[in-house]
Amino acid sequence: MANIFELFKSLGRSSGNAAGGPPEYILAGLGNPGVTYDRTRHNTGFLILDSLLSEYGVKADRSRFKGLCGEGRIGDKPVLFLKPQTFMNHSGECIAAAAKYYKIPSQRILVICDDINLPVGRMRIRKSGSDGGQKGLRSIIEHLNTEDFVRIRVGIGEKPSPDYDLVKWVLSRFTDDELRTLQGFTPYLKVGLEKILSGDIEGAMQDCNGVKL
């Protein structure tokens, strides 16, 4: 008869989460919840994160920290994939709560968001910095009380004209061609994310910031 203690150990290993331990990093995509905002430019963070979730075989379907989350691995690092459901302007509530619960320092938080100053088909990784007018980043900075977290800015294009309403623009929907362009970032980001999590953010910036799709 098998040793009962060995059996319990085996069951414990098989029932553990896919990440193999508590998350050491947070990868968050910013956006607004609900079908009203599907495919909108302001939901670029959700769109990119969804593509990465598919690539990594992770489901962000657990409701915690005022967001949807799932656990997985990037390289050999356990990661919490997170989609705040607080609406963009309050994204920091969700991310700060998750960081506090798992005791994750700000330097291990990576945030994907839209950037109106970059054209569609460009992205820019930075290891810290101001919010640049992005209100989701502003909320995160306020709740973490620091600018020291990685941001992955993905271009959504400038307004069609200077007098075009900004809110109307960021809440407009991507075209099918633009969505296909965004999906093209996934293989580059996978390489970049593994470099960031291994401590080589400079290498990730070199690989990703020059990409033109």
| Residues noted as catalytic | 42
Q: Which of 74, 114, 73 is nearest to 91 (CA)?
A: 114
Six-digit token string for 146: 């620091």
121 within 8 A of 175, measured Cβ to Cβ: no
**DSSP H or E stretch at residue 62:** strand 62-64
Exposure string of 67-90, with b = 16+ CB inside 10 Å and e = fewer, is: bbbbbbbbeebbbbbbbbbbbbeb
